[in-house]
Amino acid sequence: MTGEEFLDWRYDYVAGKNGEAYLEQYPQIFTDPRKLTNVNQLGWYNYDQKTPVTSLPEENELLRTWLSRLELKVPEIDNYLANNVTNWQDLVFQKGFQQDYTASVSNKNENSNYYFSLNYVDREGIVVGNRFTNFRTRLNLESKVTSFLKVGANTNFAVRDEGFLQADWGQSAIISPYGSNNLDDTGSLYRRLPTGDATPVNPFHDNSYRDRKDMYNTLNSSIYGIITLPLGFEFQSNFTPSFVWRDYYNHESSKNPQWAANGGSTERTNEKTYNWQIDNVLRWKKRFDDHNFEVTLLQNAEKGQSWRTVSTTSNYYGADILSWHRIQAGTNPYNESDDTYRTGDALMARLFYSFKDKYMLTASVRRDGYSAFGTQNPRATFPAIAFAWDFTEEKFMKPTSDWLDYGKLRLSWGKNGNRDIGQYEALSDMTSGLHPYIDEQGNVYLFPQLYVNRMANPALMWESKSSYNIGLDFSLFKRRLSGSIDAYTATTLDLLVDRALPEIIGFNSVAANLGQLNNKGFEVSLNGNIIQKENFGWNSGFIFMINRRKIVKLYGDMIDVKDANGNVIGQKEADDIKNRWFIGRDPDQFWNYERVGVWQVGEEDEAGKYEDSAPGDFKYKDQNGDGAMTDADRVFLGYKSPRFRWTWRNDFDYKRLSLSIFIYSNWGQEEQFNRAANNSVFPDRATDYIQPRWTPDNPINDYARIGSKNIGTNYVERSFIRLDNISLSYAIPQTFLNKVSIQSARVSAAVRNVAFWAPHWKYGDPESGGFRTRNPNDNNNEYTPGQPTPRTYNLSLNVTL
């Protein structure tokens, strides 16, 4: 907000808050004293003088009085008078500079080959201070030991540094433009709190007292041996270990006045993760005339382990100048550890058979095991079968061969498993902590407390999804147009969910397998070589996707259906209202109060019935007209997930230049936009993004008054079309390169996130990640958008020697 916008905004707030009667008693009390009409300045000034003055003070004095009435704080008033305006958004956002360097070398001879690369990345984000660096090296080696044995290893090692401190950019939206930006003035009272109030904090202040190291070292490797056996057999064995070490060290200095009382505090966290997998694969490939066989047998085992230690301390009595290098100097040592363990295994067999390369059959079966289901149902079996027919090879298709190059019909059925749950979800665990008591001498000591935190479900099992797919691949007109069409239906059984429990049992939910979810969808992908000239080419690809889901069954709890007189007329399965899962509905559909505008002046009495709403507050429809908003007034609204999506890629080549443009769109999804209620900040102490607001003189229907009461949830459509990427590259002429003995070189420039069009969504990027906070008592999981998606400009040079 600019200074003027801020003062207008604050005026609307204080005038709205104090109400008509107050404004009648003190006419124009909140108006700029230089712009009074029908009120004299002296009388106006005396509104808040205990002893009325008789002569008019100087203008600055009048302005101070005015701004105090608008609840501006002392430094804000000083800055107004001195005309010091700070654009906080400009201070926290930057143009981030990103660098990426790669050098690689590879070589190959008859018995061995290798590849070696070095890569360094330094990425700045769009928020000041947001940055990470990554150094990565990779070595791939393969050696032929004998004619039948090949061994190799692919190994990469990386060092990532994330110990950079990002400015608290969220604050920039709530500090008023008159807040004091004087971090460097050590004598100022407003270094940390730009208005002197506890709410807005200088986005850079606390970071200047933090010292952080956050290093990730990762080592991933794949070591393998391949034995070629007679009669078309081949045996391969892989061992894939992966290590991650993380060192997070953070110190908050006692020199920060805010933390001084705590005497400095430190955290040192060391974490190690070690996962490995072993795969043994036996393959057999054989061709007998028209019959082609491929058989694959797989055996797999995996283990994942992690070890984490957190050491913290505080209160160094000021002796914290060594930061996190000497935590034994702190007087409040505390340790924590958390280790985890999981295992899994799999057996798989697959047969591929084709006849005349025209009819193809793939059949497979796999049996998976996972320790999270280890108590009773660790393993599950998933079969699949697929059939494909290349019908253009058939004789009767001869007549069409002048336009149809290729056509293949696919049919498949398969079952998939899902094990996406926490590794200990099925087990009951006890949370432990320490609780203080006082002994007879008056000493406070700690004693362990334990309580059962999770309800066990030993019967928990794999989720399985069986799907039918029918597809057609084709290529027409000498490969000018190709593509595929797919349609599928899938039935997911035993979905892994947190089933809500009546909370009085002491657990909110239990990990459970939920009944049945149906899923159907359709996808078309088209690819066209629209123009193919010697010097100019245009290739275009378009994909369209649509998907629908529906809950068919939940837990099988039947309840009575009653008519208006309370007589039982049948039975139906109970919905899970707490989780907002309803039989016959998409779990992504919102079920809530329906917003029908904003209460307007004159509707006071009607509005007041609904939790004391007032003009300027969002108006929600009382569906059954009983004068109270309850579950009976919730209705099915829009969907969280897009109703359809499409992407469109275009590549143009002109001589040595190539241009690529990528556009995509998600359509029909909705998201919460409660910020439209203009109540997300304390308006008496802060400010907000500039956005429309309701006032009696601006009776709009999609935004509420400042500091409104919002008794429901406002949803806004988030459909968008995004021009995601434009890139242009130029291959440097060979004639030139030959002179400097370079094999090839290419210069390219790209812009990502170029633009988007979102007709309804006005609150920043329609795709900015964001997060939901889960309130255990209310399922309206409040949505908070993430930080804006950056637009990146990329220039790169690729040289091969």
Partner 1 sequence: MKKSIYIQLSLCSALVVFLAACSKDWLKPDQLSKYDPNTTLINAQGMYFALAACERNMRHEYYGDNAPILTEIMQSEIAVEGTTDKAGPQVNMDAALLPDADLNNVNTTKVGWYWYEGYKGIKYANTVISRIDTAVFKDENEKNAVLGAAYFHRAYRYFKLTHQFGNVPFLDREFNDPKYDFYSYDRWSILERMKSDLEFAYQWVPEKVDRGRTSKAACGVLLMKVCMALTDFDRAITIGNEIVAKHPLMKNRFTANQNKPNTNLMFDLHSVEAKLDGSNTEGLMYVVAYPQVELADNPNARIQTMRNAVPFWNSANVKTPDGRAGTSVDLAANETDPSLNINENYGRGIGRLRSTWYFTNEIWRSDKEANDMRGILNTDSWRKMEDLKYNHPALKSSNPWYGKNLIKPVNMSIEDTIRCWYSWPHYKVFVPDPLVLQKAGGETPWYIYRSAEVFLMMAECYYWKNDLAQAAVNLNEVRTRAGASPIAAGDVNIGEILDERARELYYEENRHIELVRIAYTYTKTKKPCEIFGGRVYSLENISGPGGINSNVKQMGVNFWYDRVVSKSNFYNHGVKQKFGEYKVSVHHLLWPVPANAINTNTKGVINQNIGYPGAEKNVPR
Residues numbered 81 to 140 that lie near partner 1 (CB under 8 A) are none
Which spans in 47-166 are helix H?
59-69, 74-81, 88-92
Strand pairing report for 715-717 and 670-672: antiparallel
Tokens matching residue 80: 């107004």
Nearer to partner 1, 610 or 639 (CB): 610
Between 6 and 662, whose beta carbon lies closer to partner 1? 6
Residue pointed to by tokens 């498993």: 417
Residue 555 C-beta: closest distance to partner 1, Å: 8
Residues 702-721 that bind partner 1 (CB under 8 A): 707-710
Q: Which is nearer to partner 1, 72 or 360 (CB)?
A: 72
Q: Which of residues 354-383 bind partner 1 (CB under 8 A)?
A: 369-375, 378-379
- Out of 184, 440, 605, 697, name the contact with partner 1 by CB under 8 A: 440
Q: Which two tokens stand for residue 556?
A: 């099988």
Contact flags string 35-74 toward partner 1, x per CB under 8 A: ------------xxxxx------------xx--x--xxxx
Q: Which residue has the tokens 């094999």?
A: 743
Identity of the residue, 213 or 303, whose beta carbon is nearer to partner 1 in the bound complex: 303
Q: Which is nearer to partner 1, 629 or 745 (CB)?
A: 629
Site string for partner 1, 733-772 (x = CB under 8 A): ----------------------------------------
Site string for partner 1, 636-675 (x = CB under 8 A): ----------------------------------------
C-alpha to C-alpha distance for 662 and 794, rounded to whole angstroms: 15
Q: Report d(CA 485, CA 748) in Å as an integer.
A: 34
Residue whose CB is less far from partner 1, 197 or 653: 197
Q: Which is nearer to partner 1, 600 or 647 (CB)?
A: 600
**Which lies closer to partner 1 via its Cβ, residue 151 or residue 732?**
151
User: In the complex, what is the shortest distance from the CB of residue 662 to partner 1, in angstroms, rounded to a whole number?
Assistant: 42
Q: Should residue 569 be labelled a site residue for partner 1 when binding is judged by CB under 8 A?
A: no
Binding to partner 1 in span 283-302, by CB under 8 A: 299, 301
* Given 317, 612, 655, 793, the residue binding partner 1 (CB under 8 A): 612
In the complex, minimum distance from the CB of residue 247 to partner 1, in angstroms, rounded to a whole number: 20
**205-229 burial: b if 16+ Cβ within 10 Å, else e:** bbbebebbebebebebbbebebbee
Chain residues 232-251 in contact with partner 1, contact rule CB under 8 A: 237-239
DSSP for 424-463? TTTS--EEEEEEEEE-TTS-EEEEEEEEE-S---TT---E
**HEC assignment per residue over 360-405:** EEEEEEEEEEEHHHCCCCCEEEEEEEEEEECHHHCHHHHHHCCCEE
Of the candidates 13, 20, 5, the one whose C-alpha atom is nearest the C-alpha of residue 684 is 13
Contact flag: residue 611 with partner 1 (CB under 8 A): yes
Stretch that binds partner 1, among 35-43, 420-428, 541-549, 642-650 (CB under 8 A): 420-428
Does residue 278 belong to the site contacting partner 1 (CB under 8 A)? yes
Contact 493, 461 (CB under 8 A): no
Residues of this chain, 309-338, that bind partner 1 according to CB under 8 A: 312, 314-315, 332-334, 336-338
Residue 169 CB-density burial (10 A; 0-12 exposed, 13-18 middle, 19+ buried): buried
Distances (CA, A) of 108 to 112, 114, 115, 143, 667: 6, 6, 9, 10, 49
Contact between residue 414 and residue 385 where contact means Cβ atoms under 8 Å apart: yes
Indicate the residue type of 440. E
Which CB, 196 or 764, lies closer to partner 1? 196
* Residues between 185 and 224 with contacts to partner 1, criterion CB under 8 A: 187, 189, 196-198, 223-224
DSSP state of 421: S
Residue 211 vs 684, nearer CB to partner 1 = 684
For partner 1, which stretch binds (CB under 8 A), given 98-106, 461-469, 604-612, 783-791? 604-612
User: 16: part of which helix (H) or strand (E)?
Assistant: helix 3-25
